[in-house]
Structure 1
Amino acid sequence: GTLLRRQFYLGYPPYWDALHALVRSETPIIYNVFVNNLFSFTDVTSLGTYVGQTISISVTGLSDCGAKVASKQVGNPARASIYLIPSVNQLGMTFPICYTAWDQYHISSDTRCIHLYVVRPQPLFIGPKSNISEGPYRAVVGCTFSTSVVAIDLTSGSGITASYAAGKGYKVHIYFYKSVTSTTRNRVDNLFLPSGAVFLEDTSYFSNPTRREFSWTPLHGHAGLRFDFCFMLTDSLGTVNTASLVSREEFCFAVNVARCRYCLQPGDSIFTISNFWGTNWLNIWAGNGHILRPSQPLAFTEVILGPLFFAQAHDSIDSISIKLSVSPGKIINWNPDLAFYASNTSMFLDINQEICVLPHTCAP
């Protein structure tokens, strides 16, 4: 017969250096990596138990994400370093990278892996806070309403702060999207801010967090109307253009312009505003006990121009004008949201429709 020979190798497999290797774990550690930022994992080290053991480290998963081997040392110890600069088209992807150490007899260590997660932008508005539960903000003709519109991008990664994300180039910009003017009868979308509104730029076009100041001084024609101001976000990587407190759509806040209210301007007196609003100055002064000198009131004092009337069943502008001895034209002038009824002042109003009225109760 033929003599069969087999060679057996008795030895120890390579092992990982406790200080320069991946942690052994059933669940691989996830590393956040950022687009256009260098990520490197250096000097992963494996050792042999005895002299003469030659070790090399193989790394898998590199081609899937475009990572490269920066350096590789064969011997005892053996070392390997990799690097990756993620691209925009890898946003949101996770790439496993696995290391195995081998000796010259093809005896291997245990395989250890990490996951590289390419963090994607995830900008959100954080202010002004949603006022859904409290109702719209209140503004008055002649007084300036102001608020800060604030957004951040904490990204889709875990435990990332806005300042850290900004350092990685993840920044956002807030821009005005539209305003919506509403009455009980119609709704109009506008691609521009109403007269008197200003949306100031941040000091930098892109930043994180970012803040832009919104201010608005409503005019006479805005009284009684509701305005929704809507904004959107874009990120510095050009991948996101919407964001909200609750969804991926535009973020809006609402402002109701008070009816029958006015903020005095410098140089105003009770006499001048009574002429402008078409009423008697005694009517206005009688309803504003906080104004002691009608000829020299303090600027930006809020005044009540007249009482609010609530429409009843079958009320129309014509019927109300008869009840209160004022012309239909004046009622529409005091209530810009009722312009819908200008062509037919006999049309019934909605029940409980608020109406500003300055009844003629005092003789001139």
Structure 2
Amino acid sequence: WSRRCFLANDMRVQLSARMPSLLFFALLFVAFFPPAQGLEIVVEPVPAAHVLPGCTFRGVVSATTKNATLYNDLSVAWISRASLPYEFNLTCTGTSFQYDPALPFQACQGSLHYEFQPKPSQVGRTYRAEIFWVARNGSQWNVTSVYFPISVSVVRPNISFQSVEQTSFLFNIGCTSSFKVYANLTNSVGQLGGCGQYPIQISPIAAGSYPPSPTGLPVGFPSPEDNRIIIGQAQVTALQPGSTDLSLHAVQFDWTPAWSQEMAAPYRICFQASAGGSQAVQCYSAIVQKCSYCAEEGDTIQKLAIALDTDWLHLYTLNPVIKNPDYLPKGQLVNLGVIYQVKEGDTLFGLYSRFLITEKQFLIVNPDLKPTQELVVGQQLCIIPPVCGVQCSHGLDCTPVKL
């Protein structure tokens, strides 16, 4: 017994003496020959996306492997278990699809190309492609696999008209005036990816279904029930805004008002911007100034006086900037009369008598009124009082005199 104890103690001593050298060799072996780690498939994830109808969501992904040194014949492929609309394309950019009995679906030994261009009817839906990347070592599939989803939601375009300081515009008979209307998408930059120059359609619409003007008079463009419609003179043309914002679109509204289109109440001109099933409406007002006119080629003071059933001297007196009554440059703004604001108790026949004008003269420059119409306090009227054969006091009360 004593001998066995001695031998055991001797072995402990020997092992203790050898321990530092064994530990050294163990660490050295691990350093040069690390333990085998599991095979890993690495694929860069595709963030969940939001895309507008008509825009294209696309990309290419491929897989790499880590810790593949222990495998002699390693290949990686992807398979899809997705139920997607036909617009969602998953295609192989490498080797053609190869069928393997060990796999539930066809496998692609190449990069994965995905592309999706949704339609307006798919707004609000989310589509998810269920992709699995699998590794094969020789004939052995499913050495390892990794789940790889591609998720995309179809969002509605947010259309907005650009805010402008001026929404009311002044026009004159015979002069072409214009203003521009801008609309763009206010979706986030991420949602506009793949959209390019997103198509926004801006067009004039009938204003009948939108709030009426403050005067309560019928308004609209182009509204068939409105006898003040601007058919024939108004044009709406698309513009190239010249902006780096590809979602910005614009149109220009041009209009040359004709005789009888001057009104105390404004015209309402409404535009609709539409894209991808979404719409936005913006309305503007156009006021055709009374008592003013832009001369056409060949106009003279005498010619205008005959059209207005008045005396040429009246027009010549109202327009001191006009030096030659026998020549009016094209586009020359001519004052036709004075603006009078209706007061309490005023009537049409009372105004005829007060300013010594005829009903015909009055209705020519006030086409928005009817002979029997009642006047409204604050309403603006164009008055062409005579300057010959009358004597006026303070420019208001006039009496005829014999010449």
Answer whether TM exceeds 0.5 for this pair: yes
Could you say what secondary structure the match of 2:230 adopts?
Answer: coil
Q: Deviations over 1:318-348 (max 9, x none)?
A: 1111211112332222111223xx2x25x3x
Q: How does 1:299-314 map to 2 (within 5 A)?
A: 299-314=330-345
SS of 1:336's partner is coil
Matched, 1:353 2:379: yes
- Whole-angstrom CA distance in 2 between matches of 1:52 and 1:176: 68
AA paired with 2:328? Answer: P
Runs of 5+ unmatched residues, structure 2 = 1-34, 101-108, 241-245, 390-402
Contact 1:100 1:108 in 2 (8 A): no
Out of 229, 234, 259, which is 1:220 matched to?
A: 259
**1:156 CA drift (Å):** 6.9
Q: Structure 2 CA distance, aligned partners of 1:215 and 1:55?
A: 66
Structure 2 distance, partners of 1:183, 1:96, is 52
Aligned pairs for 1:167-178 within 5 A = 170-178=198-206
Deviations 1:138-176 (A, max 9, x none): 000011112344545576763638xx6356xx4233333
From the superposition, tell whether residues 62 and 84 of structure 1 become closer, same or farther in structure 2 (CA, over 3 Å).
farther
> Residue in 2 aligned with 1:257?
288
Give the 3-state SS of the residue equivalent to 2:376 in structure 1.
coil
AA aligned opposite 1:174: I
Shift in CA distance, 214/312, structure 1 to aligned 2, threshold 3 Å: same
CA distance in 1, matches of 2:301, 2:354: 25
Q: Who is 2:195 aligned against?
A: 165
Which has the higher Rg, Structure 1 or Structure 2? 2
Gaps of 5+ in 1: 1-9
- Give SS of 1:220's match: coil
C-alpha separation in 2, matches of 1:60 and 1:196: 59
Q: What is the match of residue 8 of structure 2?
A: none
Instruction: State the number of aligned residues.
Output: 322
CA RMSD, Structure 1 to Structure 2 (Å)? 4.0
**CA–CA distance in structure 2, aligned partners of residues 111 and 149 of structure 1:** 49
Alignment of 1:232 onto 2:272: yes
Contact 1:145–1:215 under 8 Å retained in 2: yes
The alignment status of 1:199 with 2:229, answered yes or no, reads no
Contact persistence 2:262–2:367 (CA under 8 A): yes
Residue 40 of structure 2 corresponds to residue 15 of structure 1 = yes
Looking at structure 2, the residues matched to 187 and 90 of structure 1 have their Cα atoms a distance apart, in angstroms, of 39
Aligned to 2:320, which of 278, 289, 312?
289
> Structure 1's 33 and 70: CA in aligned 2 closer, same or farther, altered over 3 A?
farther
| Alpha-carbon distance between aligned partners in 1 of 2:235 and 2:110, rounded to the nearest angstrom | 56
Shift of 1:292: 1.4
Q: CA 1:57–1:274 in structure 2 vs 1: closer, same or farther (change >3 Å)?
A: same
Instruction: Give me the TM-score of the superposition, normalised by structure 2.
Output: 0.65
Contact kept, 8 Å, 2:363 with 2:369, in 1: the verdict is yes
- State whether residues 83 and 129 of structure 2, in contact with CA within 8 Å, keep that contact through their aligned partners in structure 1: no
Alpha-carbon distance, 1:94 to partner: 3.2
How far, CA to CA, are the matches of 2:293 and 2:53 in structure 1?
Answer: 52
Instruction: State the partner residue of 1:70.
Output: 91
The equivalent position to 1:143 in structure 2, one of 175, 184, 187, is 175
2:80 equivalent to 1:44: no
Q: Distance in 1 between matches of 2:70 and 2:340?
A: 99
| TM-score w.r.t. length of structure 1 | 0.71
Give the superposition deviation at 1:362: 2.2
Deviates more, 1:253-262 or 1:96-105: 96-105
1:319 maps to 350
Query: Which digits, 9 at most, give the CA deviation of each residue in 1:165-192, with x for residues without a partner?
Result: 356xx42333332367969352154436
- Equivalence for 2:5: none
**Could you say what secondary structure the match of 1:191 adopts?**
coil
Q: Distance in 2 between matches of 1:157 and 1:90?
A: 20
State the match for 1:267 in structure 2: 298
With over 3 angstroms needed to count, the CA separation of the structure-2 counterparts of 1:296 and 1:79, relative to structure 1, is: closer
Q: Which amino acid aligns with 2:269?
A: F
Instruction: Tell me: CA distance 1:214–1:221, structure 2 relative to 1, closer, same or farther (3 Å).
Output: same
1:291 deviates by 1.1
1:13 CA displacement = 4.5
Question: Whole-Å Cα distance in 2 between the matches of residues 266 and 279 of structure 1?
Answer: 21
Most deviating of 174-183 and 139-148: 174-183
Counterpart-to-counterpart distance in 2, 1:111 and 1:231 = 49
1:304, 1:257 → 2: CA distance?
14
Q: Distance in 2 between matches of 1:188 and 1:14?
A: 74
SS at match of 2:267: strand
Provide the rounded CA distance (Å) in 1 between the counterparts of 2:247 and 2:158.
12
Structure 1 distance, partners of 2:290, 2:284, is 19
Counterpart secondary structure, 1:184: coil
Superposition pairs for residues 113-152 of structure 1, below 5 Å? 113-118=149-154, 121-126=157-162, 130=164, 134-152=166-184
